[in-house]
Amino acid sequence: MKSDFRIGIIGTGNMGCAIITGISKGISPALIKAYDTDSDKLKGIADKTGIRIADSIEDLITGSDLIIISVKPDITLKVAQRLTDYSGIILSVAAGVKLETLQKITGTKKLIRAMPNTPALSGCGMTVISAADNVTNEETTTVMRILENTGRVLLMEEKHMNAVTAISGSGPAYVFTFIQALADAGVKMGLTRDNALLLAGQTIFGSAKMFLDKMENPIMLRDKVASPGGTTIQALHSLEKAGFNGIIIDAVESAFNRAKELEKTS
């Protein structure tokens, strides 16, 4: 990647801010420029990260090697219509908006579709990208290196993007719900809310890191915690009796089906 590779970002909502915060930790903020119709939100992220503010989308078109569109799906299509004269790489993070749909609007542009998640804000995100056929390996690698400042990055065929959306795109919400449930249990048993939340959050963080460091079968790691006749196996029995695995699979499948519906309407 050339040292003066310039990045333009359209949209500074939750996902846009997460991406900006992540990539600005590894790339000079002077090379990152953002635009949003909400000037207060835009100024807030610029003050926080040191990135530059664009006056308009046209301002980004003339000064960016990569433009990241980080707005809602319906707005993404409207933004794409304004990039027909842009000659750089376009990356869209909109759920349900296929590369084919974007190509119909922009023409033969160098398009990449991405599904990041909000932990990018902490540099611990998971992003999957799919590139159009006219994007070179070098360009794909460059985009992946940029996104690695937000966490881990995988390159996959676009046909898997709905599953990715359901697992890692929506996944943080499932985990936050689990943290809340664990903390509620702690409060019920007499812990303070703050202590219960810390116990729950750090336990999930540590467990996830242990799994990623080892990449062992999670059931094998689970068995190392569950002693014969102990407290853990008793709790696991309650989870299994309540259909815990099935509930999670059903939830992810529901998100997957919704992602497919969004593709049909985009």
Q: pLDDT per residue over 177-189, tens digit each?
A: 999 999 999 999 9
pLDDT value, residue 1: 62
Q: Closest Cα partner for 95 from 162, 143, 22?
A: 162
Beta bridge partners of 177: none
pLDDT value, residue 195: 98
pLDDT value, residue 266: 67
Statement: residue 96 has pLDDT above 90: no
Contact 34, 10 (CB under 8 A): yes
Cβ density class 82-104: b for 16+ within 10 Å, e for less: bbeebebbbbbbbbbbbbebbbe
Beta bridge partners of 114: 129
Q: Give this prediction's pTM.
A: 0.91
Portion of the chain with pLDDT greater than 90, in percent: 88
* pLDDT single digits (tens) 198-237: 999 999 999 999 999 989 999 999 999 999 999 999 999 9
pLDDT value, residue 63: 87
Contact 87, 108 (CB under 8 A): no
Statement: residue 173 has pLDDT above 70: yes
C-alpha span between 74 and 79 (Å, rounded): 9
C-alpha span between 46 and 217 (Å, rounded): 42
* pLDDT single digits (tens) 10-58: 999 999 999 999 999 889 999 999 999 999 999 999 999 999 999 999 9
The domains found in the chain, sorted by start residue, are 7-161 (3.40.50.720), 171-265 (1.10.3730.10)
Sign of the CA dihedral 12, 41, 88, 145?
negative
Average pLDDT over residues 141-161: 96
DSSP calls for 187-256: HHTT--HHHHHHHHHHHHHHHHHHHHHH---HHHHHHTT--TTSHHHHHHHHHHHTTHHHHHHHHHHHHH
Beta bridge partners of 125: 151
Q: Which residue has the higher pLDDT, 263 or 217?
A: 217
Res. 171 pLDDT band, cuts 50 70 90: very high
Statement: residue 2 has pLDDT above 80: no
